[in-house]
Chain A
């Protein structure tokens, strides 16, 4: 039955419309969860606020459980669900750059737009930085094209790598997430910070 777009059950325009609605929902949830505050995001790294970890892990395990059950019931063909391809080196380098940007700027791309849309100046400055980064990447593309495309791995799964079934791996992720919630709550009590 699913996924809807590749099976042409819904048209491309409907797909975009749905994406638009989901995007607004996503932005709304980010804002409501307080992600438009850079202090909250930076809090993860210092342990005084772990809402970000909790929200993202909740999102991840909800989607994980949902997709696996949908697949079990034959509602979705997981082979047709697009997975970002892995280019090992650009993933590592990009991850490091993104991590530094996150901790220095206090935002990731989505949340910076959230912050800017409610008038946070640091969010706007972050967006300007984002475009400077895009500009540098594009103008300097020939310099890092080799690195960008190196070590193409297709779309491998960690579960296949370790020879585990998808379901068992999902269980491990869920246990990890639940443990993370409790550790997060503990850290918030251990490293409290008043008024941020």
Chain B
């Protein structure tokens, strides 16, 4: 009986302590330039087109695609379910509710990486944390998902699996008439449309649970 009393008192004492101290401050609200540089260099803001294609096909409600190109381009072609927030109006009051929340994951995209990355950096400076960038933008999307090139015969199983996934995703978008039309022609206005794949440090999805 005595151990129980001791354990109960210890637990409550620790609880009192943790309630009394201020909440942890290891992560400041706004990022400083050094952190920003590290984040840019580690390219952890990127989400691969495969991941995005998978989210669209599965119709996951957990993300929001945001097109940061101008309205004209958006009306000509956009990814399924995307909304349009042109880069120049990204600071408008009306969009802050969408950009600064932690329910849905926002995925920004433009033609290449450039505009979406600029938007992401701005939002990151504001301290918004739930925004990501579609790697390579629509150009790379078109190349990788809509029109995947055959990897040839002497490739690793991994490469082949990736190609098969892209093929399947491409078919799935092709059959969805409203989603993709042929209006989109890749534009070469960025220097680096298809960056090498990087390992991102986003939250790892682990499944699990008790019992």
Contacts and interface: CB of A to CB of B under 8 A. Distances in A.
Interface of A: 5-8, 56, 61, 65, 68-69, 71-72, 74, 77-80, 82, 84-85, 87, 108-111, 145, 149, 152-156, 165-168, 170-171, 173-175, 177-178, 181-182
Nearest to B59: A149
A109 B211 contact: yes
7 contacts: A87-B61, A152-B61, A154-B62, A154-B102, A171-B12, A171-B16, A174-B15
A178 B11 CA distance: 8
A68 B18 contact: yes
B103 A8 contact: no
A181 B60 CA distance: 40
Given A71-B26, A84-B209, A174-B15, 4 more contacts: A154-B103, A171-B16, A181-B8, A182-B8
Contacts of B4: 181
B185 interface: no
Contacts of B199: 8
Nearest to B60: A149
A13 to B, nearest CB: 14
A166 B101 CA distance: 19
Contact of A167 (B20, B59, B206, B209): B20
B21 interface: yes
Contacts of A109: 211
A174 B62 contact: no
A65 B61 CA distance: 32
A87 B204 CA distance: 19
Given A85-B62, A174-B15, A78 B8 contact: no
B129 interface: yes
Interface string B65-97: 000000000000000000000000000000000
Query: Which of A56, A155, A165 is most buried by chain B, counting CB atoms within 10 A of its CB?
Result: A165
Interface of B: 4, 8, 11-12, 14-16, 18-21, 23-24, 26-27, 59-62, 101-104, 129, 199, 201-206, 208-211
A78 B8 CA distance: 26
Contacts of A80: 203
Contact of B15 (A79, A149, A170): A170
Nearest to A8: B201
A110 B15 CA distance: 29
B19 A165 contact: yes
B24 A79 contact: no
B30 to A, nearest CB: 14
Contacts of A168: 19
